[in-house]
Structure 1
Amino acid sequence: MPDSANDFNCLLNSDHIAIEGLEVAAVIGVFDWEKEIKQPLFIDLMMAWPNRVPAASGELTDALDYDRVSRAVTQWIQARPYGLIEEVAEMIAEQVCREFGVALLRVKVAKPTAIESARSVSVTITRRAGDSAS
C-alpha cells in the first residue's frame, strides 16, 4: 500500500501543474433518478511535472499540456455513467498517468448535488503511476 501522506508531501515539495475547478456535466450516482440526468462534478488535479525544461525552452512540447489534460478528463468522464465519485477519481488518476506520463498526482472530485444541506461532497486521492485500484 502506498504511503499517501508521504506521496502528497513529495508532490507539494516538487514542481507541479494544477487544474482547479474543472466543471464536468456527468451521469453520476447510484439512485435510479441519478442515472437519468447529468449532474455537475468539479475536478481538481495536482500533477507532478518537471517545469525547468519548459520554462527554459518556452516550448509547449516540453510542457504538460493542461488544456489537453482538461479536455481528456472531460471526455473520459462523459464517456459513460459512473456510480460513485470514488470511481471517477481512480479512473482519472490511472488515465492521466498513462496518457500524459504523469508520475504522481492528486485528484479531487466534488459532487455539489450529493447532500442537499452541504455545499459539496468530495473524495481526494493521491496516486503514483502504476498504482492500481484492484
Structure 2
Amino acid sequence: MTDLVLIQGLRIDTVIGVYQWEKEIWQTLVLDLELACDVAPAAAADDIQQALDYAAISDRLTAYVSAMRVELIETVAERCATLLLEEFAVVGVRLTVNKPGAVPQAESVGVRIVRGQGF
C-alpha cells in the first residue's frame, strides 16, 4: 500500500523566466506536492520521528527554489522531484509547479510531473 502526504499551495519567490526582464525580478511559484510513502508506522506509533516532516520539506524546497536561476518551470519541477526522492523517505512524487500571472489571459500556467512509484 502506498499513502500520499500532501503539501498544497507552497509559495516560493525566485528569479525565473525566459525574457531578460524576468531575469531581473522575483516572481512567485506555487507548488503542490503529493509524496508517496508509507504512513502506517508513524500512525501506529503516533510518532513524529517516523513521519515525513512537512516543515523540513517545505523549508528545504523554499531554500532550494529561491536560490535557482532558471528559465523554465519544467526545470524547477524536475530538480525538485529529484531532490525529494534523494533526500526524503518518499518512493514517488507528483509535483505541480504553477507560475501565476505568466500569461495575462490565465490565472496561472503550470506543469505537473510524476516521478518514482506509487501513482
TM-score range, shorter chain: over 0.9
- Report whether the alignment pairs 1:27 with 2:15: yes
Cα separation, 1, equivalents of 2:95 and 2:22: 23
Corresponding letter in the other structure for 2:2: S
- State the secondary structure of the residue aligned to 1:116: coil
What is aligned with 2:61?
Answer: 73
- Report whether the alignment pairs 1:16 with 2:4: yes
1:101: how far off? 2.6
Q: Number of residues paired by the alignment?
A: 117
Cα separation, 2, equivalents of 1:44 and 1:55: 23
Cα separation, 2, equivalents of 1:102 and 1:49: 5
What is aligned with 1:47?
Answer: 35
What is aligned with 1:82?
Answer: 70
RMSD over aligned CA atoms reads 1.2
- State the secondary structure of the residue aligned to 1:42: strand
What is aligned with 2:25?
Answer: 37
- Report whether the alignment pairs 1:125 with 2:119: no
Cα separation, 2, equivalents of 1:115 and 1:24: 19
Residues 94 and 113 of structure 2 are in contact (CA less than 8 Å); yes or no, is this contact kept in structure 1?
yes
Structure 2 runs not aligned, ≥5 long:
none
What is aligned with 1:10?
Answer: none
- Report whether the alignment pairs 1:59 with 2:47: yes
Residues 92 and 114 of structure 2 are in contact (CA less than 8 Å); yes or no, is this contact kept in structure 1?
yes
1:19: how far off? 0.3
Residues 46 and 107 of structure 1 are in contact (CA less than 8 Å); yes or no, is this contact kept in structure 2?
yes
Q: Which has the higher strand share?
A: 2
Q: Give the TM-score taking structure 2 as reference length.
A: 0.94
1:22: how far off? 0.3
Cα separation, 2, equivalents of 1:107 and 1:72: 15
Residues 37 and 89 of structure 2 are in contact (CA less than 8 Å); yes or no, is this contact kept in structure 1?
no
- State the secondary structure of the residue aligned to 2:38: coil
